[in-house]
A and B are shown apart, each in its own frame.
Chain A
Amino acid sequence: MDFKAQEIELKIICECGNTTIKEAIEIFQETTLPYKKAKKLVTKCNKTCCRRPLMALFNMVEFGEIDYEQIGFLIEQKNER
């Protein structure tokens, strides 16, 4: 993993749960639950918050390859709203 990816990995993916991308990846890797339930483990809430970056990350974990730059972009996109 390059330096930029390492930097992005420490970004908070969702204010709910105050979870970093790295932590969210670990949670998604450890669960077999579907997105709707796995998401709650990350955000610790029942809202549909941070949907775009979280859903993208969940799919990337399932696929087995993380595009950190893309996740970083989606977090920025969410924060601008």
Chain B
Amino acid sequence: MFGEFIRWIKANGYNSKVSTDPKVLAQTTILDLSGLHIRELPDSIGAFCNLSILKLSNNRLDTLPSSIKELKALRNLQCENNLLTSIPPQIKELQNLIILNLNGNRLTTLPTELFELTKLTRLTVGTNFLTALPKEMKNLKKLLYFSCETNYIEEIPDVFELMHSLYFLDLSYNKISVLPKSLSKIAELETLLLEGNRLESLPSLSNHDMLIKLNLSNNQIIKLDIEGLEDLQILNLDNNNLTALPEEICSLSKLNYLSLSGNRVERLPECIGNLENLIELDVEENRLKELPPSFEKLKKLKNLYVQNNFLSKEQIPQLPSLEFCDLLV
């Protein structure tokens, strides 16, 4: 049963990493073939009917054999950093798959069959050449974690309506200018990464009262609506077109990290001192001429980046908690 696979292992010198004992292979549930410079996977991979985890990352695979459909027990398939240009439609046979990692390949499209894997909870397709996501993605109702960062996607389809449990969504480094309305339906969302897109504004995020991390850096945002984000701890607004921050930002009482470097902000809100849990503030490269008096109330502030504004050292309040300020180095 494993004869052909064992011959392949021996012929390619993978013996040090993979057993060549048929009895061991028959009971194998985890097969780690990562980092072996593999260019082609043999059809005999289909013999591993008990396999639960298959690690193929960091190889040179440009395709997966259709025999992969035989891996009926597979729950976790790792294919990061290969040269995959397509995914065989037979992937739909892997009905027990819950984790699929296709980051760092050369995929231009995803087969609709992939979205028949309705048990998927974690799907990562970042750093590929995707220009679109199919509307069939809406079938993945159990998704908890989805990343399609660093692709060429202009429009995200309205697929999130029933993804109530999604807690991590990374759409960074695409070409998105408008977000889908169904984004607001993701009740459990904790991390939303939208860095490096073409967003000028955002839909209301007020339904995302569980959001902990929001990254909007490197967009073209002019105006910000952050009402209702009472659990937010990390907010990154670097490199946008903001000229001011809304007063509502002062109500983010759990905020630890606020970054808005590379904007055109002329003054911080008077109430900035209300951010009593703020640990790090980065306002580098703005147009600040002064810091509001309430700044002295930031009792937990440890790291402060204020270079490239119109501020002098003397304007930095002496905060006992402050461990680093780039202007004072």
A46 touches B262 (CB 8 A): yes
Give the interface of B toward A (CB within 8 A). Answer: 58, 81, 104, 106, 127, 129, 150, 173, 195-196, 217-218, 238-239, 259, 262, 282, 285, 305
What chain A residues lie within 8 Å of B196 (beta carbons)? 48
A73 touches B58 (CB 8 A): yes
What chain A residues lie within 8 Å of B218 (beta carbons)? 48
A46 touches B104 (CB 8 A): no
A70 to B34, CA, bound (A): 12
27 cross-chain CB contacts under 8 A? A36-B238, A36-B259, A36-B282, A37-B305, A46-B239, A46-B262, A46-B285, A48-B195, A48-B196, A48-B217, A48-B218, A48-B239, A51-B150, A51-B173, A52-B104, A52-B127, A52-B150, A70-B58, A70-B81, A73-B58, A73-B81, A74-B81, A74-B104, A77-B81, A77-B104, A80-B106, A81-B129
A: number of interface residues (CB 8 Å): 12
What chain A residues lie within 8 Å of B104 (beta carbons)? 52, 74, 77
A48 to B238, CA, bound (A): 10
What chain A residues lie within 8 Å of B127 (beta carbons)? 52, 77
Residue in chain B with minimal CB distance to A52: B127
State how many angstroms separate the Cβ of B260 from the closest Cβ of chain A: 12
A51 to B195, CA, bound (A): 12
A37 to B282, CA, bound (A): 10
State how many angstroms separate the Cβ of A35 from the closest Cβ of chain B: 12
What chain B residues lie within 8 Å of A70 (beta carbons)? 58, 81
A73 to B150, CA, bound (A): 16
Interface centre among A36, A70, A73 (most CB of B within 10 A): A36
